[in-house]
Every structure is written in structure tokens, then in C-alpha cells.
């Protein structure tokens, strides 16, 4: 059975096409600058990479071009081969605790939940509607980033603010990256042949989140009401004193939306380094003696370490610590810095084994009380698996 996983943004659409008989990735790609001048797409298949500039005024046109190219490039013989479409959805609020078949009711719920992911949910809805028009008889599944975190208890997900805010407006922690955290925790459980594990998963990329997982279920996670909370990130601040917001509004003559935009897009690595949002550039800067880059990386490591240490206490110990996503999978020195700071917990890595990028690896050091793994995440495959499971019911 061929299933396509879709991750739609406000002006982009990423896809991965799988043959689920053997979970084989057939093709993948990205359609960018949709609705903007100079739009183009990239498709990778069979070791080849196709790039074409083409006008894509809206999401429906992008979907039509995608399906047309899959046929004309010989990747599939006909669109009839596609038997399911899985959509990554950033926020399902409290309503959705697992993946579901997409119905008109689900689409309306995604629209109603747009305040929890204003940059994402409207784009997801556009993509769903576009696929429904082009592939009207193909079943579609919504896979929610927030669903994995719905096992948190009230102590973890409630904020110490007026309780009426939660009851009236849904003010609580929702988390994000749940599909990635679920994929990594499932893979480690399978690899070790154990489900009764206490695990911390560090999804460290341009965005980043850390989750405490016990027996395969999320106990706590670093991102909050929105993805702005938690650890420091590429351009996001992570946790700050909320009183900073009105203070800066008054000093700079900004409104609340403008300050939030600065916390989302001008903070984190790029805010502290004043130059770079990418850890690779930060490390290059450090090698050249740039003190701001060093400050930024040291701050980043501290925020990550603090969350891991917090979850160590919350879980009453950790069996496994995992690193995933762009930084987690590929930044050898950043992993080492984090682990070195956790030495007091009895965790050690083998520096030779840690010399790895983008591949599954046990990097645990001799005598370590906690197993340490690098685990390439695969949210697209998780989406395809959920889609298959629901279609087979």
C-alpha cells in the first residue's frame, strides 16, 4: 500500500511517499514559496534530485503539480496507487489524543483550534482541502504533534494561573514534536526489548523540546501552551519572565504581537550571538574566538541540561537518554557538552562512539549509569504508520 505523508506550512508543502509493504521510502521532496514569486519544488527519488521553478499560486496547484510529477517522473504509474494521505497537524488541543480519520468535523475542529497554532493549523486545513479536491476518494488521516503529550497529568500540564483561564480558554501546556518523541521512544523500546523504561528524549533542532517518558507515555515536556516555551532554540527564547513583555512594549513602543514575534524570530541563538541561528555557524564562530557565539552555546547547553536534570528528578531516575533532530543527531560537540554537564548523574559517553552524525548509535560510555543513544527521527514514517493503521481498521 502506498501512503503519502504531508507536512504543510503557510507557504510550503513537504512530502514523503512510502510503500508500506516494507516501509520503503519511494520519494520525498519540498514545494516552497507557494503563493509567492519564484516558487519551486524539489523531488528526490532513486538517487536523483529534481528541482524546477514553477508558478504555484496556491496549495491546490502545488498538490496538482506534486501528483502530476509523481506520475510523469515514473515514480508511480497512476495517482490511483496512492491509497492514503497522512497529514501532520501541529495542534489538536485537548480534543485529540490520537490520530484520526479526517472528516468534515475534524476539519472544523482544526479551524476552531487555530488560536493554539495560528501559523500552522490554517495551513494544514488548506492542504487537507487541496488533497480532498484532487484525490476525493482517498482516505486521509490527521496525526497530531500534541497527541503524544496528552498523557501528562494536571500537575504537569496546568500553569499556576487563574484556573478560570484553563476552563474558559484552554490555557495549559500542550507541547509539540510529539510525533518525533513517540517515534524515538518506540524505537528505543523495541531496540532494548523493554517497555518499562524511564526515558528522556531531546529533540534538538532549530526548534527544540525535551520530554520525560515513562513506560512509553509522556509524563512531561518542555514546550508549553505554544512552541515558544521550554529550552532556548534557534530563534526562540524558550522560558523567560513574562514581565519582560510589557516592559519591552513600553520601552520600545511595541505591541504585544510585535514582542512575541521578536521572542519567536529574533531570540535564542540569533538573539544572543547577534549573528547566527544555526549551531553549525555558532560552532564556527567559537572556533574563530567569537565570545557572543560561545555565550549563546553555553546558555543553550545550560537550558537543555536543566530540563534533563529536572526530568531525572521527576522520573526518579533515567534509564535512557536520547538525542534526535538536527542538532541532536549531528552536533558531536554539543552532545558532549551536554553530557559532560550531567556527569554528576552518572552519565558518560564514549567519545569515539559519539563521533557520529545522522545514524542510530549507542554512544554510552563505560561505567555510565544511563544509556545514551543518538536516534535519527522519522516523523514522516510515523505519520504513514498511523495512516496505515487507521485505514486497515
Span 285-312, pLDDT tens digits: 999 999 999 999 999 999 999 999 999 9
- What rounded mean pLDDT belongs to the chain? 94
Q: Quick check: 231 and 307 in contact, CB under 8 A? A: yes
Q: What is the pLDDT of residues 311-367, one digit of tens each?
A: 999 999 999 999 999 999 999 999 999 999 999 999 999 999 999 999 999 999 999
Q: Quick check: 5 and 384 in contact, CB under 8 A? A: yes
10 pLDDT higher than 80:
no
* Distance between CA atoms of residues 345 and 231, nearest Å: 20
Q: What is the pLDDT of residues 39-66, one digit of tens each?
A: 999 999 999 999 999 999 988 999 999 9
Helices (H) and strands (E) in the chain, counts: 14, 14
- Which residues are annotated as catalytic? 145
**Chain-centroid distance, C-alpha 36:** 25
3 pLDDT higher than 80:
yes
Per the document, the length of the chain is 393
pLDDT for 118: 76
pLDDT for 86: 96
pLDDT for 120: 81
pLDDT for 119: 72
pLDDT for 122: 87
Query: What secondary structure letter does DSSP report for 132?
Result: H
Residues contacting 365, CB < 8 A, separation 6+: 348, 349, 350, 351, 353, 372
In the chain, CATH 3.30.420.40 sits at 2-144, 194-379
Q: What is the pLDDT of residues 227-241, one digit of tens each?
A: 899 999 999 999 999
Beta bridge partners of 128: none
210 compared with 10, residue with greater pLDDT: 210
The three three-digit cell numbers of residue 171, written as one number: 490555557
Residue range 261-290: average pLDDT? 94
pLDDT for 9: 82
Could you give the dihedral angle defined by the CA atoms of residues 129, 84, 189 and 148, in that order, rounded to the nearest 10 degrees? 20
126 pLDDT higher than 80:
yes
Could you give the dihedral angle defined by the CA atoms of residues 99, 105, 108 and 114, in that order, rounded to the nearest 10 degrees? -30
If one looks up domain 194-379 in CATH, what number appears?
3.30.420.40
Q: Quick check: 231 and 237 in contact, CB under 8 A? A: no
The three three-digit cell numbers of residue 110, written as one number: 482544526
pLDDT for 276: 93
Residue range 116-124: average pLDDT? 82
pLDDT for 37: 87
Using alpha carbons, select from 256, 260, 257, 221 the residue that is nearest to residue 237: 260
Q: Quick check: 176 and 207 in contact, CB under 8 A? A: yes
pLDDT for 113: 87
For 210-248, the three-class secondary structure string (H helix, E strand, C coil) is: EEEEECCEEEEECCCCCCCCCCCCCCCCCCCCCCHHHHH
The three three-digit cell numbers of residue 91, written as one number: 495542534
pLDDT for 81: 93
141 pLDDT higher than 90:
yes
Residue range 261-275: average pLDDT? 94
pLDDT for 249: 97
Calculate Rg over the CA atoms of the chain.
Answer: 21
pLDDT for 56: 92
Residue range 132-161: average pLDDT? 95
Neighbours of 287 (CB within 10 A): 9
pTM, 2 dp: 0.92
The three three-digit cell numbers of residue 290, written as one number: 567569537
- Give the burial class of 277: count Cβ atoms within 10 A of its Cβ; 0-12 exposed, 13-18 middle, 19 or more buried: buried
6 pLDDT higher than 80:
yes
* Distance between CA atoms of residues 362 and 370, nearest Å: 11
- Angle in degrees, CA 258, 294, 177, rounded to 5: 55
pLDDT for 158: 98
Using alpha carbons, select from 328, 326, 327, 308 the residue that is nearest to residue 318: 308
CATH 3.30.420.40 fits 2-144, yes or no: yes
* Distance between CA atoms of residues 316 and 218, nearest Å: 15
Amino acid at each position: 500500500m502506498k501512503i503519502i505523508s504531508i507536512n504543510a506550512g503557510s507557504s510550503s508543502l513537504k512530502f514523503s511517499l512510502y510503500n508500506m509493504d516494507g516501509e520503503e521510502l519511494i520519494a520525498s521532496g519540498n514545494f516552497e514559496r507557494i503563493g509567492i514569486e519564484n516558487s519551486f519544488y524539489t523531488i528526490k527519488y532513486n538517487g536523483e534530485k529534481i528541482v524546477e521553478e514553477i508558478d504555484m499560486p496556491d496549495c491546490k496547484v502545488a498538490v496538482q503539480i506534486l501528483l502530476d510529477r509523481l506520475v510523469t517522473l515514473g515514480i508511480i504509474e497512476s495517482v490511483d496507487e496512492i491509497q492514503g494521505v497522512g497529514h501532520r497537524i501541529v495542534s489538536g488541543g485537548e480534543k485529540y489524543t490520537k490520530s484520526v480519520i479526517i472528516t468534515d468535523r475534524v476539519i472544523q475542529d482544526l479551524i476552531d483550534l487555530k488560536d493554539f497554532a495560528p501559523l500552522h493549523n490554517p495551513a494544514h486545513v488548506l492542504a487537507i482541502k487541496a488533497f480532498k479536491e484532487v484525490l476525493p476518494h482517498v482516505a486521509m488521516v490527521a496525526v497530531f504533534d500534541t497527541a503524544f503529550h496528552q498523557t501528562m497529568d494536571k500537575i504537569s500540564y496546568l500553569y499556576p494561573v487563574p484556573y478560570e483561564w484553563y476552563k474558559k480558554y484552554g490555557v495549559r501546556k500542550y507541547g509539540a514534536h510529539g510525533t518525533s518523541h513517540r517515534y524515538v521512544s518506540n524505537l528505543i523500546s523495541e531496540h532494548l526489548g523493554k517497555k518499562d523504561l524511564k526515558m528522556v528524549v531531546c529533540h534538538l533542532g532549530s526548534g527544540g523540546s525535551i520530554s520525560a517518558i515513562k513506560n512509553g507515555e509522556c509524563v512531561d515536556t518542555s514546550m508549553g501552551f505554544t512552541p515558544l516555551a521550554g529550552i532556548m532554540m534557534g530563534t526562540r527564547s524558550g522560558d523567560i519572565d513574562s514581565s519582560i513583555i510589557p516592559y519591552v512594549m513600553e520601552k520600545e513602543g511595541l505591541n504585544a504581537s510585535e514582542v512575541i514575534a521578536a521572542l519567536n524570530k529574533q531570540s535564542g541563538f540569533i538573539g544572543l550571538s547577534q549573528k547566527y541561528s544555526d549551531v553549525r555557524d555558532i560552532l564556527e564562530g567559537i572556533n574563530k574566538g567569537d565570545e557572543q557565539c560561545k555565550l549563546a552555546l553555553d546558555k543553550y547547553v545550560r537550558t537543555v541540561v536543566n530540563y534533563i536534570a529536572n526530568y531525572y528528578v521527576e522520573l526518579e531516575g533515567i534509564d535512557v537518554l536520547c538525542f534526535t533532530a538536527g542538532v541532536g543527531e549531528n552536533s558531536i560537540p554539543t552532545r558532549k557538552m551536554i553530557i559532560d554537564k550531567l556527569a554528576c548523574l552518572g552519565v558518560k559517553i564514549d567519545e569515539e562512539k559519539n563521533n557520529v552524525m545522522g545514524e542510530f548509535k549507542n554512544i554510552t560510555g563505560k561505567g555510565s549509569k544511563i544509556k545514551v543513544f543518538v536516534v535519527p527521527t522519522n516523523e514522516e514514517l510515523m505519520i504513514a504508520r498511523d495512516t496505515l493503521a487507521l485505514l486497515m481498521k
